[in-house]
């Protein structure tokens, strides 16, 4: 049993982790930048330590500062959340060598799945379907040859990429010759790894991810899938579980392959295995994320399983005991961002009025409150509205009702609440016929 967990993150995921720890009887430590001094996670933790100025490179990404906070507070475990250092193998190794439990996969596993090329090699070995393309990193000449063979359009991806970055769509050979060196430079600049690989570009696919929890005893449980196809510039905006495009036969087939993949890499903790689903119903493996996802609540709502608590429990050496996973009803999550609903430009400011929706089947995960100053230094996510219904149609109606109730205002502060209403009212979303390019099409 952990005695004290340090939460190496901020915002709503830090609040979420602190609540889970407290329900397990574990003391918590919040770390914060000077800009987050009045954030909710700082207020509700048992202890709080300032780790630096607003710049995340000098606070939430500063490994020595975080490890100093671990030492000062005598925390015996560290919860990384998502973003920042959550999937950094070096950080996980430093934490582990300091005799503090990193609540997540091992450094070796993070390194394996962080390398998209190695991950695809393992996926191929266990029989997961892959998008036609290169078998590894490519040179420009090799990329041209492969693209001629599989046909355009193709997409260049950074081997060490993630979070929707390091991706360039290529329409023809002239485009490939121009974009290839730029993609290599971008990969080197963003990830410190200039390797890129090439795949066929799947037109209008859906983004499907399977949630897993694995323990140290080799047990892997798949908690069904989520659909995350409402995106803008590869950033997810609306997620739901289960996917309206996946039937029980395909769910079982992919789940079995996902279990084999996780066992092959010795995975431990919570994670997601991500796929593209084309218009013909074919799945293609993309990558695995070795962390909690922003959208994990929709899976919790349809399974009744607390994923964050199980992250902590398996890190303590517990065997997974969730029983037979049953998917009940339908859940939708809408990311509420402090941004202009038309231009998507960030819109930080002071929250002067806040009314949160409620009622049966409604959950709001947030770190903001009246009087809170939303800082301009971090991601614009300020809340997640999660709704549940017996059917997908009921969940959509409950989502619209909750969005109508959701009020957050302040001088100069804008949110994307109206954007979510527009999406939920479209015929394409209601019929489950949307895809990852739908938002751009809708805006045009």
Q: Are the C-beta atoms of 38 and 31 separated by less than 8 Å?
A: no
Q: What is the 3-state secondary structure (H, E, C) of the chain?
A: CCCEEEECCCHHHHHHHHHHHHHCCCEEEEEEEHHHCCCHHHHHCCEEEEEECCCHHHCCCCHHHHHHHHHHHCCCEEECCCCCCCCCHHHHHHHHHCCCEECCCCHHHHHHHHCHHHHHHHHHHCCCCECCECCCCCCHHHHHHHHHHHCCCEEEEECCCCCCCCEEEECCHHHHHHHHHHHHHHHHHHHCCCCEEEEECCCCCEEEEEEEEECCCCCEEEEEEEEEEEEECCEEEEEEECCCCCCHHHHHHHHHHHHHHHHHCCCCEEEEEEEEECCCCCEEEEEEECCCCCCHHHHHHHHCCCHHHHHHHHHCCCCCCCCCCCCCCEEEEEEEECECCCCCCECCCECCEEECCCCCCEEEEECCCCCCECCCCCCCEEEEEEEEECCHHHHHHHHHHHHHHCEEECCCCCCCHHHHHHHHHCHHHHCCCCCCCHHHHHHC
Q: Which residues partner with 219 through β-bridges? A: none
Nearest to 302 by CA among 436, 231, 395: 395
* Pairing between β-strand 353-355 and β-strand 167-170 as defined by DSSP bridges: unpaired
CA pair distance 225, 311, nearest whole angstrom: 18
Cβ-contact 209, 394 below 8 angstroms: no
Ramachandran category for residue 28: left, alpha or beta (phi over 0 → left; psi -120 to 50 → alpha): beta
Find residue 310's DSSP bridge partners. Answer: none
Residues designated as active site: 291
């Amino acid at each position: 049993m952990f005695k004290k967990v340090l939460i190496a993150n901020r915002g709503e995921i830090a609040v979420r982790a602190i609540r889970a720890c407290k329900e397990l009887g574990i003391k918590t430590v919040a770390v914060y930048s000077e800009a987050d001094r009045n954030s909710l996670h700082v207020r509700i933790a048992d202890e709080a330590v300032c780790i630096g100025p607003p710049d995340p490179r000098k606070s939430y990404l500063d490994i020595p500062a975080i490890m100093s906070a671990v030492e000062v507070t005598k925390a015996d475990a560290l919860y990384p959340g998502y973003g920042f250092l959550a999937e950094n193998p070096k950080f996980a190794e430093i934490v582990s060598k300091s005799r503090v439990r990193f609540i997540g996969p091992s450094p070796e596993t993070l390194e394996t799945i962080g390398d998209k090329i190695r991950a695809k090699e393992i996926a191929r070995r266990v029989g997961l379907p892959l998008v036609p393309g290169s078998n590894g990193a490519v040179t420009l000449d090799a990329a041209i040859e492969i693209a001629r063979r599989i046909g355009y359009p193709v997409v260049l991806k950074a081997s060490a990429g993630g979070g929707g970055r390091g991706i360039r769509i290529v329409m023809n050979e002239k485009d490939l010759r121009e974009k290839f060196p730029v993609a290599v430079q971008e990969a080197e600049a963003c990830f410190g790894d200039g390797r890129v690989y090439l795949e066929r570009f799947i037109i209008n696919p859906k983004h499907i991810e399977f949630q897993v929890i694995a323990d140290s005893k080799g047990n892997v449980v798949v908690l069904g899938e989520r659909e995350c196809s409402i995106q803008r510039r590869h950033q997810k905006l609306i997620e739901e579980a289960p996917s309206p495009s996946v039937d029980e036969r395909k769910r079982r087939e992919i789940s079995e392959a996902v279990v084999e993949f996780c066992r092959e890499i010795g995975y431990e903790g919570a994670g997601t295995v991500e796929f593209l689903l084309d218009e013909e119903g074919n799945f293609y493996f993309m990558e695995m994320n070795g962390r909690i996802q922003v959208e994990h609540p929709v899976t919790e709502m349809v399974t009744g399983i607390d994923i964050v608590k199980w992250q902590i429990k398996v890190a303590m050496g517990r065997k997974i005991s969730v029983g037979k996973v049953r998917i009940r009803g339908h859940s939708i999550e809408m990311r509420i961002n402090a941004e202009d609903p038309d231009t998507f430009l960030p819109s930080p400011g002071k929250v002067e009025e806040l009314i949160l929706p409620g009622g049966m089947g409604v959950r709001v995960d947030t770190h903001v409150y009246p009087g809170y100053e939303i800082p301009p230094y971090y991601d614009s996510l300020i809340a997640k509205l999660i709704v549940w219904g017996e059917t997908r149609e009921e969940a959509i109606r409950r989502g619209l009702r909750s969005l109508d109730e959701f009020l957050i205002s302040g001088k100069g502060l804008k949110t994307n609440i109206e954007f979510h209403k527009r999406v939920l009212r479209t015929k394409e979303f209601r019929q489950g016929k949307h895809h990852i390019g739908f938002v751009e099409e809708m805006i045009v």
